């Protein structure tokens, strides 16, 4: 089991880091008391379905946090694969972030309501842990998209898995799906509905797909479509998008839209993307 402990400066982006880890399949918990970590890790290890775990442990734990490193040592001595991800940002940026959000620093009350002192104290406590971290991200001048990209490079073998792509077919007579990011109207293509032996079949059947694609305009559209997809998908991934819905619509959602949803799903799957196909209206 892979066990990641996320820690670092308050306001540096720990919550954002956990969201990325959750999106790529980690079982995540925020703000766990350090003393509970070994027992929690033991329980996770007894569950064969849990392969990757990430927890946030930070200064919010108060005095308990001071024993953080001892708990890590204990876990490693017991043979656990524990790694530490430290999220950092410069003091000036942290001060600015707290002023903008008007959130209270975890050490604010302890430091008598002095925000600058609270931030300084946290840095003093956390810097020794920073030196021992297995992974390190500086979010000082990093955009949200770049932050996510850095996380994915650290914790994913195949960055293309970071975004789930859905190829969706639908019928315009039943409405355009709200969740669609890209919508392609394929009602200009040859329609199998008017062929008696194809009317009651769908684009999942080979003879329907062959009929739709037995046209120069269908082939030209497919080539231009795939060329655009090759351009767009990496851009969406680099911007940190976690899900992309590519929708194809025809009149009833049974033939042409299903054909192109199936072909696009196969095309993206062959390229190694995390993709699946959905046919909303094909059985209506």
For the stretch 58-93, pLDDT in tens is 998 887 787 888 888 888 888 888 889 999 999 999
| Residue 155 in this model has a pLDDT that exceeds 80 | yes
Q: Which domain holds residue 93?
A: 2-156
Neighbouring-strand partners of residue 166: 245, 276
Do 144 and 167 have their domain in common?
A: no
CATH of the domain at 138: 3.40.50.300
Q: Are residues 49 and 151 in the same domain?
A: yes
Q: Is residue 207 part of a domain?
A: yes
Which of 96, 123, 156 is the C-terminal boundary of a domain? Answer: 156
pLDDT, averaged across the chain: 90
* DSSP string over 159-204: GGGGSEEEEEEEEGGG---TT-SEEEE-TTS--GGGSTTTTT--TT
23 and 93 together in one domain: yes
Query: Same domain, yes or no, for 182 and 274?
Result: yes
Which is it for the CA torsion 96, 102, 108, 111, positive or negative?
A: positive
284 in any annotated domain? no
Same domain, 166 and 152: no
pLDDT per position as a tens digit, 238-273: 877 778 999 999 999 999 999 999 999 999 999 989
Cα–Cα distances in angstroms (integers) from residue 228 to residues 90, 235, 267, 278, in the given order: 40, 11, 13, 21
- Distance separating alpha carbons of residues 1 and 50, to the nearest angstrom: 7
Identify the band that residue 32 occupies on the pLDDT scale cut at 50, 70 and 90: confident
Instruction: Compute the distance between CA of residue 255 and CA of residue 204 in angstroms, rounded to an integer.
Output: 8
Q: What pLDDT score does 157 carry? A: 65
Domain shared by 120 and 169, yes or no = no
As beta bridge partners, residue 83 has 4
Do 245 and 142 lie in a common domain?
no
Domain boundary among 141, 156, 171: 156
Residues 170 and 116 in one domain: no
Three-state DSSP state, 27: strand
- Are 262 and 154 contacting, i.e. CB atoms less than 8 angstroms apart? no
- Looking at the structure, do residues 191 and 266 belong to the same domain, yes or no? yes
| pLDDT tens digits along 191-240 | 999 999 999 999 999 999 999 999 999 999 999 999 999 999 999 988 77
Are residue 152 and residue 61 in the same domain, yes or no?
A: yes
- Is 234 among the domain residues? yes
Distance CA 122, CA 99 (A): 17
pLDDT, position 161: 67
Domain boundary among 112, 128, 156: 156
Spatial neighbors of 70 by CB under 8 A, at least 6 apart, are none
Q: Do the beta carbons of residue 245 and residue 182 sit within 8 Å? A: yes
- Do 245 and 201 lie in a common domain? yes
- Is residue 5 within 8 Å of 84, Cβ to Cβ? yes
Report which of residues 55 and 242 the model is more confident about: 55
Q: Is the pLDDT assigned to residue 94 strictly greater than 80? A: yes
Element (H, E) at 4: strand 2-8
pLDDT the model gives residue 176: 93
Give how many domains the chain has, as a whole number. 2
Over range 131-157, report the average pLDDT.
Answer: 83
CA 246 to chain centre: 17
């Amino acid at each position: 089991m892979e066990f990641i402990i996320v820690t670092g400066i308050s306001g540096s982006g720990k919550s954002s880091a956990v969201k990325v880890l959750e999106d790529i399949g980690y079982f995540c918990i925020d703000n766990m008391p350090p003393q509970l970590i070994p027992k929690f890790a033991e329980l996770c290890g007894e569950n064969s379905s849990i392969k990757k775990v990430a927890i946030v442990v930070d200064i919010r734990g108060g005095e308990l946090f001071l024993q953080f490193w001892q708990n890590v040592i204990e876990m490693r001595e017991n043979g656990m694969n524990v790694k530490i991800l430290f999220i950092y940002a410069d003091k000036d940026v942290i001060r600015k972030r707290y002023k903008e959000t008007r959130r209270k620093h975890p050490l604010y009350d302890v430091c008598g309501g002095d925000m600058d002192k609270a931030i300084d104290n946290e840095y003093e406590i956390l810097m020794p842990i920073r030196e021992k971290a297995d992974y390190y991200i500086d979010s000082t001048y990093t955009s949200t998209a770049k932050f996510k990209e850095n996380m994915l490079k650290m914790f994913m073998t195949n960055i293309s898995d970071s975004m789930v792509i859905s190829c969706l077919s639908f019928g315009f007579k039943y409405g355009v799906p709200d969740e669609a990011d890209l919508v392609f109207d394929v009602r200009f293509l040859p329609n199998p509905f008017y062929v008696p032996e194809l009317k009651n079949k769908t684009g999942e059947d080979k003879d329907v797909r062959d009929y739709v694609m037995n046209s120069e305009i269908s082939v030209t559209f497919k080539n231009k479509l795939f060329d655009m997809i090759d351009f767009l998908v990496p851009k969406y991934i680099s911007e940190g998008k976690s899900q992309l819905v590519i929708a194809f619509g025809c009149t009833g959602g049974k033939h042409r839209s299903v054909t192109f949803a199936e072909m696009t799903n196969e095309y993206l799957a062959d390229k190694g993307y995390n993709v699946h196909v959905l046919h909303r209206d094909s059985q209506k």
